[in-house]
Chain A
Amino acid sequence: MLSAEERQEIEAEFAHYPNKEAVCIDAMKIVQRRRGWVSDESLRDIAALLGMSADQLDSVATFYNLIYRKPVGRNVILVCDSVSCWITGYDRLRERLMSVLGIKMGETTPDGRFTLLPIVCLGACDHAPVMMVNNDLHHDVDPGKVEAVLDRYK
């Protein structure tokens, strides 16, 4: 079930669009911000609120990179794998992250602390290589010092 606050925040978006369906991406992000991901149950609840079928909403959910349909860790690491970061050391950064965390790309650490995902160009190419942890952008990342960055996220 959606919480009262989730419902309220979703319904506040209705005023900005001529129909409820247009709010569906916002709605999934609102739920995901609180729960980390969009479960089947959340998907059905959001679809019902917006007058969509769950399948229709799922077709939208699975199209977008930033809607998670599987559980993620408390902190999500997005490593840019696009061209400028590739030229300036993405491979080393990725290898280092995988070895420090002991997981592969797309996986979550057993303690649920980190999920490691690739992301397309983050638009900070003059400071490549870059990655995001949650809402924070980290640039000019030195693969050798990646542990110090991760230490800030519990």
Chain B
Amino acid sequence: MEKVLTKNIRPDLSYVDVQAYESSGGYEGLRKALAMAPGAVTEEVKKSNLRGRGGAGFPTGMKWTFVPMGPDAPSPKYLVANADEMEPGTFKDRLLMEGDPHQLVEGLIVAAYAIQASTAYIFIRGEYFLSEERLRRAIAEAEEKHYLGKNILGSGYNLEMVVHMSGGRYMCGEETGLLNALEGKRANPRTKPPFPQVSGLFGKPTIVQNVETLSNLPHILRNGIEWFKSLSLSVDAGTKIYGVSGKVKRPGLWELPMGTTVREILEEHAGGMQDGLKFRGLLPGGASTDFLVEEHLDVKMDFTEVQKAGSRLGTGTMIVLDDRTCPVGMVRNLEHFFAQESCGWCTPCWSGLSWAEKALEAIEEGKGNAVDLDHLEYICKLCAPGNTFCALAPGAVEPLQSALKYFRADFERHVADKRCPWNHQA
């Protein structure tokens, strides 16, 4: 298969400088974009059928069409790269930033030009020191080559690019929480509407896009929309960086056609389960997605098909549950994360998730009873979409509600036996 996003990435992950990037066609997409009207770039991206790779899968070009354009549009406008990769089990954006930082820089310039933003911020999680170093270096090289700064490549378009290192909190990955964090505030979510495309960072029109999404843009501009669609095995266009972690033979990341099946990723690329272990289930796209089980192994990993199977593609990086790991313990770990990272803004989230963690702790430690299972079901309903400002709580209960469905017998056994069957095995 043709490698697109990872074609420049070296096995030793050494830095790909601007010359190396240019020699593989880098910044040609930007030259093409600058020769087009901004609206035409947006139209091209819209037609390419690129959907956001951060988890929600929103159509990228469509998002840009909501930004006010023309001489009367509010000014300045902003573009933000969401590089706050904190979804447990997700490690793909790190690879793109460390392995080919110019690809992200070029993608940002293309997107910024399309919406006529004057500043592009890259919001990086605070622990990604190598990503920071490489992006600062790539930005300096791009400035020297007049891909950034005033009058980019003689087009009359100006753009400043700024790296912002996060103070560290899962909520910063939420679009409006991120905007508050960039403004120097707590990363609480904002009411929508107004949507950030109209009133975002500092009250100005703002687009927030994930690193992988932005990294696709240079290639779409350079090679065209028909080529981009032809990369995929499904209705959702392009390639996808899939990942697998957990007790498989070869955990890792692979760039594959969008729509590759769960089975192919798990068995061919990750090498299947470690010897002596059986597959029980997986979270297909990070911690905040519903479990898929054996019956779903032939599901295509794209936005449409994973949703039909009752889960979400999310970030496309799977976390695998094996038969020697306790599903209750796993969900307890997940809910501990979500309860801790809840910003405390909405009651169903801060209260519901801490109760979920407490109930799971009781069940895991052999102190649970049947009522706790009903309570967990209730919390799943309480945290459903529409009851909170942002997607943290609805996402948090996805693995919980699906674990209660697929691993019900394991929960009940904990309660009946008053102990965790796994902890007592060794």
| Residues of A that sit less than 8 Å from B by CB | 16-19, 21-26, 28-29, 50, 59-60, 63-67, 78, 81-84, 86-88, 119-128, 132, 135, 137
| Residues of B that sit less than 8 Å from A by CB | 85-91, 93-94, 119, 125-130, 160, 162, 164-170, 181-187, 202, 243-247, 251-253, 283, 287, 317, 319-322, 325, 329-330, 333-334, 336-337, 340-341, 343
A124 pairs with B186, CB closer than 8 A: no
Q: With A121-B88, A126-B243 known to touch, is A63 a contact of B184 (CB < 8 Å)? A: no
Residues of B within 8 A of A59 (CB): 186
A65 pairs with B182, CB closer than 8 A: no
Enumerate 18 A-B pairs (CB-CB under 8 Å) in ascending A order: A16-B160, A21-B183, A25-B167, A60-B186, A63-B186, A65-B167, A67-B168, A81-B333, A82-B337, A83-B319, A83-B330, A87-B319, A120-B341, A123-B94, A125-B245, A126-B243, A126-B244, A137-B130
A88 pairs with B246, CB closer than 8 A: yes
A82 pairs with B89, CB closer than 8 A: yes
B162 to chain A, nearest CB (A): 5
A86 pairs with B330, CB closer than 8 A: yes
A63 pairs with B169, CB closer than 8 A: yes
Distance of A28 Cα from B168 Cα, bound (Å): 13
Residues of B within 8 A of A87 (CB): 245-247, 319-322, 325, 330
A127 pairs with B251, CB closer than 8 A: yes
A131 to chain B, nearest CB (A): 11
Residues of B within 8 A of A67 (CB): 167-168
Contact of A125 among B184, B185, B187, B251 (CB under 8 A): B251
Q: With A83-B337, A86-B330 known to touch, is A125 a contact of B89 (CB < 8 Å)? A: yes
A83 pairs with B287, CB closer than 8 A: yes
B191 to chain A, nearest CB (A): 19
Contact of A123 among B91, B244, B333 (CB under 8 A): B91
Most B CB atoms within 10 A — which of A24, A65, A78? A65
Contact of A65 among B85, B89, B164, B168 (CB under 8 A): B168
B168 pairs with A66, CB closer than 8 A: yes
A20 to chain B, nearest CB (A): 8
Residues of B within 8 A of A26 (CB): 164-165
Given contacts A23-B184, A60-B184, 15 further A-B contacts (CB under 8 A): A24-B184, A29-B126, A60-B185, A64-B168, A67-B168, A82-B88, A86-B333, A87-B247, A87-B330, A119-B127, A120-B86, A121-B337, A123-B90, A123-B127, A126-B244
